[in-house]
């Protein structure tokens, strides 16, 4: 098993180009199942999860190929209506293909999806929504089958008990080709959902209200192919900015989505970083020491502070002046990175949803293991600001979400290698 070796204590300087967004590439790849034609996706990040999505597509008769950052998906002859347990287990986003296959083929057999272990990640809202849209659901030895014959497929009104990103996306995928109107109340408002809707509209779908809490989908008969550029990845962007905040220095993030990153940027500013934005670039400079963030950092559905950026910000604030308090409101188990940060000298106390981070003077290197995607990235953030050598094991977690991770860190002047 490979490890990252990071030698910290060196300021970061330079510029990097932000990758395409994982969390919109995956639902967009699922959405391509609905299209009776060929789609070309630009800025598709090279990530293990994207390759898993490609395998799911090919397993159901779509033709997906990826060359560089371009994915070509031809879904003219979708033939399959099942996703294997192995493919379902590779990532959480495998569940998005269920809504798309149901929408296109009318039946899907699948098992519980995999993904980062962040506490229980049920799919009850997804299944309840499918049922509301006309699906009959049965279970046999862990295998779930949803049947939605054409005559039973219809729109509907769905009010989500919580604005779940995945459930919102699945409802849209399942209803774009259904007859009639579907309304989603208390929908999630994440930018990645808007990106998927923009893609679907480019293919002829009729969707209104994405980015707001009430989304209306008017079913259309068929979708046509298109060329589409995937939005930049706001969480990867937050991670690289957090690295410079932790290590000190100055960087420019190119191809950034500034509005979508606003909730993160405003907290970084409170910690004493100088931030300036223009066009699609973010300049960040950290001169003196970082300051603790005075207000409680509460993770919330968008436009609140993103749960996916909680760990990387915590890693930077672990060596700030003063005490910062985090409150994780989305997932039950999203503080698994704190043990590694504590091993590196951080003073963090987790109490249920809250984590109290008392800034220390400096972190030091240690041998740690990535616990999940963002937790692993947080360890790299901490390592770049720490004194000495850190090794990070289980780096396959990081490869699920970050393209050119080492190259980007190296181009900022960070010292990272693989062992
Ligand atoms: C998406 O996951 C993202 N993944 C996650 O990013 C992100 O952390 C999360 O949204 C929240 O922003 C992708 O887009 C691929 P949810 P998702 O459904 O859709 C509960 C990363 O690091 N829930 O909004 O799975 C659930 O347990 C990843 O890139 C139910 O109870 O998130 C959680 O507590 C990790 N029943 C909350 O809702 C359901 O049926 C929010 O989950 C569905 C969800």
* 12-56 confidence digits (pLDDT tens): 999 999 999 999 999 999 999 999 999 999 999 999 999 999 999
Cis ω for the linkage preceding 201 (within 30 of 0): no
3-state secondary structure of 8: coil
Ligand 1 mean position to 186 CA, how many Å? 15
Task: With residue 415 as reference, give the H or E element that holds it.
Answer: strand 415-418
- Picking from 85, 24, 22, the residue whose alpha carbon sits closest to that of residue 56 is 85
- pLDDT for 154 equals 85
- pLDDT for 121 equals 78
User: Phi and psi (nearest 5°) for 198?
Assistant: -60, -40
- Rounded Cα gap, residues 274 and 70, in angstroms: 35
DSSP summary character for residue 388: S
Q: Is 308 in the pocket of ligand 1 (CB under 6 A)?
A: yes
Q: Is 47 in the pocket of ligand 1 (CB under 6 A)?
A: no
Residue 79: exposure state from Cβ atoms within 10 A (0-12, 13-18, ≥19):
exposed
Q: Which atom of ligand 1 is nearest to the CA of 188?
A: 24
| Residue of 119, 162, 376, 397 best suited for mutating to test ligand 1, as the one with most atoms within 8 Å of CB | 162
3-state secondary structure of 215: strand
- Rounded Cα gap, residues 119 and 72, in angstroms: 34
Q: Is 380 in the pocket of ligand 1 (CB under 6 A)?
A: no
- pLDDT for 149 equals 83
C-alpha separations of 299 from 258, 267, 302, 327 in Å: 19, 12, 9, 6
Other C-beta atoms closer than 10 Å to the C-beta of 297 total 21
Ligand 1 mean position to 127 CA, how many Å? 15
Q: Is 374 in the pocket of ligand 1 (CB under 6 A)?
A: yes
C-alpha separations of 205 from 31, 200, 215 in Å: 11, 5, 13
10-residue block means of pLDDT along the chain (419 residues)?
94 98 98 98 97 97 97 94 94 94 95 77 92 93 89 88 98 96 98 98 98 97 97 98 98 97 96 96 96 97 98 98 98 95 98 97 98 96 98 95 97 96
Q: Is 290 in the pocket of ligand 1 (CB under 6 A)?
A: no
- pLDDT for 120 equals 72
Which of 39, 44, 62, 116 does the annotation list as catalytic?
116
**Ligand 1, atom 17: closest residue by C-alpha:** 166
H-type helices in 290-404, by residue range?
A: 310-317, 338-343, 373-385, 396-399
Ligand 1 mean position to 167 CA, how many Å? 9
Same topology, domains 4-19+232-418 and 22-229? Answer is yes
Q: Which atom of ligand 1 is nearest to the CA of 235?
A: 29
Q: Is 114 in the pocket of ligand 1 (CB under 6 A)?
A: no
Residue 87: exposure state from Cβ atoms within 10 A (0-12, 13-18, ≥19):
buried
pLDDT over 90 percentage in the chain = 92
Q: Is 236 in the pocket of ligand 1 (CB under 6 A)?
A: no
Pick one of 3.10.310.30, 3.40.50.300, 3.30.450.20, 3.65.10.10 as the CATH number of 4-19+232-418.
Answer: 3.65.10.10
**Ligand 1, atom 1: closest residue by C-alpha:** 165
DSSP summary character for residue 212: B
**Ligand 1, atom 34: closest residue by C-alpha:** 331
> Which pTM does this prediction carry?
0.97
C-alpha angle with apex 69: 234 to 237, nearest 5 degrees? 15
Q: Which sequence spans correspond to the domains of the chain?
A: 4-19+232-418, 22-229
Quote the tokens at residue 387.
Answer: 């004194």
Contact 267, 313 (CB under 8 A): yes
Q: Is 113 in the pocket of ligand 1 (CB under 6 A)?
A: no
- Rounded Cα gap, residues 216 and 209, in angstroms: 6
Q: Is 125 in the pocket of ligand 1 (CB under 6 A)?
A: yes
Ligand 1 mean position to 166 CA, how many Å? 6
Q: Which atom of ligand 1 is nearest to the CA of 331?
A: 34
Per the annotation, the verdict on 116 as an active-site residue is yes
CATH class for the region spanning 22-229: alpha beta
- Rounded Cα gap, residues 146 and 166, in angstroms: 17
- Picking from 254, 175, 219, the residue whose alpha carbon sits closest to that of residue 15 is 254
């Amino acid at each position: 098993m490979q490890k990252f070796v990071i030698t910290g204590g060196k300021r970061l300087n330079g510029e990097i180009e932000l990758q395409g967004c994982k969390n919109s590439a995956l639902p967009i790849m699922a959405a391509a199942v609905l299209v009776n034609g060929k789609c070309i996706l630009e800025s598709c990040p090279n990530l293990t999860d994207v390759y898993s999505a490609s395998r799911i597509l090919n397993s159901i008769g779509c033709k997906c190929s990826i060359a560089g950052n371009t994915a070509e998906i031809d879904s003219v002859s979708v033939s399959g209506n099942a996703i294997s347990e192995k493919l379902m287990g590779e990532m959480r986003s495998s569940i998005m293909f269920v809504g798309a296959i149901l929408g296109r083929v009318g039946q899907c057999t699948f098992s519980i999806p995999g993904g980062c272990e962040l506490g229980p990640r049920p799919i009850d809202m997804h299944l309840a929504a499918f049922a509301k849209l006309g699906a009959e659901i049965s279970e046999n030895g862990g295998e779930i089958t949803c049947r939605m014959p054409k005559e039973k497929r219809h729109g509907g009104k769905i009010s989500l008990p919580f604005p779940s990103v995945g459930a919102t996306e699945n409802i849209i995928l399942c209803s774009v080709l259904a007859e009639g109107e579907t309304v989603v109340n208390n929908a999630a408002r994440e930018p990645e959902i808007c990106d998927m809707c923009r893609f679907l509209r480019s293919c002829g779908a009729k969707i209104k209200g994405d980015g707001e809490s009430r989304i209306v989908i008017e079913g259309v008969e068929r979708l046509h192919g298109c060329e589409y550029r995937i939005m930049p990845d706001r969480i990867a962007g937050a991670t690289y900015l957090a690295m410079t905040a932790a290590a000190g220095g100055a960087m420019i993030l190119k191809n950034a989505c500034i509005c979508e990153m606003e909730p993160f940027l405003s907290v970084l500013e409170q910690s004493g970083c100088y931030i300036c934005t223009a066009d699609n670039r973010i300049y960040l400079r950290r001169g003196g020491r970082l300051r603790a963030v005075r207000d409680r950092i509460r993770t919330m559905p968008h436009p609140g502070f993103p749960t996916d950026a909680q760990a990387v910000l915590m890693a930077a604030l672990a060596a700030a002046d003063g005490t910062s308090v985090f409150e994780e409101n989305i997932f039950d188990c999203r503080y698994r990175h704190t043990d590694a940060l504590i091993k590196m000298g951080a003073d963090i106390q987790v109490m249920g949803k809250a984590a109290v981070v008392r800034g220390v003077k400096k972190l030091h290197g240690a041998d740690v293991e990535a616990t999940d995607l963002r937790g692993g990235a947080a360890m790299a953030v901490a390592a770049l600001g720490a004194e000495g050598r850190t090794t990070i094991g289980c780096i396959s977690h990081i490869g699920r979400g970050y393209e050119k991770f080492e190259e980007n860190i190296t181009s900022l002047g960070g010292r990272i290698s693989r062992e």
